[in-house]
Chain A
Amino acid sequence: MPIPVILASLLIGPSQAASPSDIFRSVFNFISGNQETTDNYILLKSVVFDVRLPRVLLTFITGGALAISGCSMQAIFRNPLTDPYILGLSSGAAFGAALALAFVFIPVQLSAFIFGLLAVVLSYFMARKNKNVSIVSLILSGIIVSGIFTALLTVVQYFSDPFKLQSIVHWTMGNLHNANWSKLQSAIIPIAIGVTVLIIYRWRMNVLAMGDDEARTAGINPDKDKLIILLAATLASSSAVAVAGIIGLYGLIIPHMVRMMIGPDNRQSIPLNFLFGGTFLLVIDDFSRTISGFEIPIGVFTMLLGAPFFIYLMKKTNIGLMW
């Protein structure tokens, strides 16, 4: 499923010079050994390889990272309402990005990444008591940390000039249109590490979803495993947020869609979340690139497209949640 969508996405874009038929002709010429040296060919190559390919790959790993992190967090917190943003990651990252955009002393991505991570670490340690982290206190401290960073973000916005304010607002809406190879490079390694760890721990998530006592007496240490999974999910999702901005509710919706498609067993659903999450964001991004003359920010689009689809699935299938 992902590969055809990636290929199709390469064909789509606002550029007049690179229509699907142009690309097909060039690919055909390339395969049959005909050398093309026209200016048009060089332009085409640049559009496809320097603009579209990095964007397509970045979109794919961003969507995959958010979905797989969301699914993992839902499993370890035993709460289907959890997503990577619940621990303050998005508001931390938004504040970090705004700080960098308004006062420019560090790169936006780096600042977003650091403050996103900082927010999760703060939430985690605020909730920790006697070496134990209860889920309720973790979610409460996440809400408080989110509130603090949102307040700080407002302060930064208040002191920013209108031009900078616009770029801050644009960043928080989520955007992939300025993707390039260097952004992809900065995101791909932390995302690859996070995703690999989550895939290794995927069955452990089934055990953890049974409850702490049940995990302990069956032979695993839930505190240690949850911390490892939480760190991996935070690493992957904060790297995604750092390069793509805030893509709202994505990490909440995709895991539910996957669960409705193949059931709750994390052995299958964790890898599928990465593939489906990546593919689906690519489809949404293709729409946001082509549906109108200007680009609609992807964060807005995921909500507008994802919410109805989610409601449809919720009504149609029995998700069997018990609480």
Chain B
Amino acid sequence: MKAIQIRGLSFSYNKICVLDNVNADIEIGKLTFILGKNGSGKSTFLRIIAGLLPYKKGDIHILGNDNSKLNYTERAKIVGFLNQQHKAVFPFSVEEVVLTGRAGYVNYIPKDIDKQAAHVAIEKVGISHLTNRNYTELSGGEQQLVMIARVLAQNPKVLLLDEPTTHLDFGNQAHLLSLLKKLANDGLTIVAVLHDPNLAFLYGDDFLFVRDKQVIRSATSVDAWNVDFLKTIYHGNIETIPYNGRALLIPDMN
């Protein structure tokens, strides 16, 4: 069984086609990165899987469940989603923010078991020292870790992240990506949209590229780092420098 199996998926925003007859498979327990240039439809693709955008054509199965037949509560127990940006309005404590991830399990008021799940998630992300701080007073990197704890409190089998490193500094990007790699090694399926192909290359197990309304998966992960192929993805002048038997990308300075 695949973690996510997509067949014949098409999607349009106001009659402008974004994805056309897409087929893709995502493997269980791997860290998969989605890459592509701005506006190529990466986020749209992820949001469709997360159940935030209704699709009319195509089939999506998540761990064997037909995505279009799941309601919000059922889907939340299988799939977790982290938005590109999160803006907080009220100064909730970190604990209260993480606890809201339990909404799918809670009738009206969370019980002790939900509080325990929230604390387990907080520990897994390594932010126990922030538990009683106000979310609004934390740095961008800390807030992102809190939101990851929130989504883990949900106990999803598949975790979808939309550009999780965008607002983070270099050190926090590395910290977050190694956390994701560790979670994937523990068996969680993770799919993340990423802008930086080098970080993707260093941390990822598998790669999907969105280009010309299609989602392309290279035959092998080594092929994915073929410079001619990447030039077609980013439409730019790219050079490569060798690193650990693969290649790192740098812009062509000439």
- Which A residues form the contact surface with B (CB < 8 A)? 75, 78-80, 200-204, 206-207, 209-211, 213-221, 259, 263-265, 267, 319-323
Q: Write the chain A residue with the least CB distance to B76.
A: A219
- B91:A219 contact, CB within 8 angstroms: no
Task: Compute how far the CA of A263 lies from the CA of B92 in the bound complex, rounded to whole angstroms.
Answer: 7
- Cβ of B110 under 8 Å from chain A: yes
Q: How far is the CB of A289 from chain B (nearest CB, A)?
A: 36
Q: A78-B89, A219-B77 are in contact. Are A267 and B109 (CB under 8 A)?
A: yes
- B154:A218 contact, CB within 8 angstroms: yes
Give which listed residue, B51, B73, B89, B110, contacts A323 with CB less than 8 A. Answer: B89
- A213:B81 contact, CB within 8 angstroms: yes
- A216:B52 contact, CB within 8 angstroms: yes
- A219:B154 contact, CB within 8 angstroms: yes
Task: Compute how far the CA of A215 lies from the CA of B103 in the bound complex, rounded to whole angstroms.
Answer: 8
Give which listed residue, A209, A213, A219, contacts B92 with CB less than 8 A. Answer: A209
Which B residues touch A213, using CB under 8 A? Answer: 52, 81, 83
Q: How far is the CB of A209 from chain B (nearest CB, A)?
A: 6
- B83:A214 contact, CB within 8 angstroms: yes
Which B residues touch A320, using CB under 8 A? Answer: 91, 134, 136-137
Q: How far is the CB of B15 from chain A (nearest CB, A)?
A: 14
Task: Compute how far the CA of A264 lies from the CA of B93 in the bound complex, rounded to whole angstroms.
Answer: 9
Best-surrounded residue of B72, B80, B81, B90 (most CB of chain A within 10 A): B90
Q: A200-B108, A203-B108, A264-B90 are in contact. Are A216 and B100 (CB under 8 A)?
A: no
Which B residues touch A204, using CB under 8 A? Answer: 103, 108
- B52:A217 contact, CB within 8 angstroms: yes
Question: When each residue 72-98 of chain B gets 1 if its CB lies under 8 Å from chain A and 0 otherwise, what string results?
Answer: 110111011101001111111100110
Which A residues touch B71, using CB under 8 A? Answer: 221
- A322:B77 contact, CB within 8 angstroms: no
- Cβ of B104 under 8 Å from chain A: yes
Q: Write the chain A residue with the least CB distance to B100.
A: A207
Contact count A vs B, C-beta below 8 Å: 102
Best-surrounded residue of A75, A213, A217 (most CB of chain B within 10 A): A217
- A203:B106 contact, CB within 8 angstroms: yes
Task: Compute how far the CA of A219 lies from the CA of B154 in the bound complex, rounded to whole angstroms.
Answer: 9
Beyond known contacts A209-B90, A218-B104: 8 more, CB 8 A cutoff? A202-B108, A206-B100, A217-B72, A217-B80, A217-B81, A220-B104, A320-B91, A320-B134
Which range contains the number of B residues in contact with the other chain?
35 or more
Which B residues touch A267, using CB under 8 A? Answer: 109
Best-surrounded residue of B52, B89, B97, B150 (most CB of chain A within 10 A): B89
- B108:A220 contact, CB within 8 angstroms: no
- A203:B92 contact, CB within 8 angstroms: no
- A264:B52 contact, CB within 8 angstroms: no
Which A residues touch B102, using CB under 8 A? Answer: 218
Which A residues touch B91, using CB under 8 A? Answer: 263-264, 319-322
- A217:B51 contact, CB within 8 angstroms: yes
- A80:B77 contact, CB within 8 angstroms: no
5 contacts between A and B (CB under 8 A): A203-B110, A204-B103, A206-B99, A211-B83, A322-B91
Q: A78-B89, A79-B89, A322-B89 are in contact. Are A216 and B136 (CB under 8 A)?
A: no
- B136:A218 contact, CB within 8 angstroms: no
Q: Write the chain B residue with the least CB distance to A318.
A: B91
Q: Write the chain B residue with the least CB distance to A75.
A: B90
- B87:A220 contact, CB within 8 angstroms: no
- A201:B108 contact, CB within 8 angstroms: yes
Q: A206-B96, A213-B81 are in contact. Are A219 and B72 (CB under 8 A)?
A: yes
Q: How far is the CB of B37 from chain A (nearest CB, A)?
A: 24
Which B residues touch A259, using CB under 8 A? Answer: 90
Which A residues touch B36, using CB under 8 A? Answer: none
Which A residues touch B136, using CB under 8 A? Answer: 320-322
- B88:A218 contact, CB within 8 angstroms: no
- B103:A219 contact, CB within 8 angstroms: yes
Task: Compute how far the CA of A219 lies from the CA of B71 in the bound complex, rounded to whole angstroms.
Answer: 8
- Cβ of B19 under 8 Å from chain A: no
Task: Compute how far the CA of A77 lies from the CA of B51 in the bound complex, rounded to whole angstroms.
Answer: 22
Q: Write the chain B residue with the least CB distance to A213.
A: B83
Which B residues touch A220, using CB under 8 A? Answer: 72-73, 103-104
Best-surrounded residue of A80, A200, A322 (most CB of chain B within 10 A): A322
- Cβ of B101 under 8 Å from chain A: yes
Give which listed residue, A207, A321, A322, contacts B103 with CB less than 8 A. Answer: A207
